[in-house]
Copies of this chain bind each other. A is one copy, B any other.
């Protein structure tokens, strides 16, 4: 972590990025322990598979690129399969090895952009809110997306962990 006095990112924002990175790392540690066969199982009877949840996380993180103004989605095809549709939709999933790679790549890309944004940049509106709405709702900024997506990751991490062998 950079020293807050010499960084363009203030300490609260640095900590928010650290919180995000901590959750990414926790999921990556978990994924090392889960085989493809593990991920193909349901987290609980009748619930989502690990396969779907990892695809869902990758798709949601990919969608953060345009939402935060970092560029286009790298894998736009994921949204239909893993966000608009539920698990067991009948749509064909990309191979798990590919999903694992996309998950890593998109997180690497995001972190690179995160570290280039200043505190002021984090407090700018995200692309899903209009300038007019943002004028009266200044909390609808990029930092808020970071918080929301970090919680989203933790939520699904708590589900993926159920696939681990005890």
Residues of chain A touching chain B, judged by Cβ–Cβ distance below 8 Å, are: 1, 4, 10-16, 18-19, 22-23, 43-47, 119, 122-123, 138-139, 141, 143-144, 147-148, 150-152, 154-159, 162, 166
For A15, the chain B residues whose CB sits under 8 A away are 139, 141, 143-144, 147
Chosen A-B contacts, 10 in total, with CB atoms closer than 8 Å, are: A10-B12, A12-B12, A12-B122, A15-B139, A15-B143, A16-B147, A18-B139, A22-B148, A46-B166, A151-B154
For A119, the chain B residues whose CB sits under 8 A away are 12
Copies in the complex: 2
Interface residues of chain A: helix, strand, loop or mixed (majority): helix
Determine the distance from Cα of A144 to Cα of B156 in the docked complex, in whole angstroms: 21
In order of increasing CB-CB distance, the 6 nearest A-B pairs are A155-B158, A12-B12, A154-B154, A158-B158, A44-B44, A19-B147
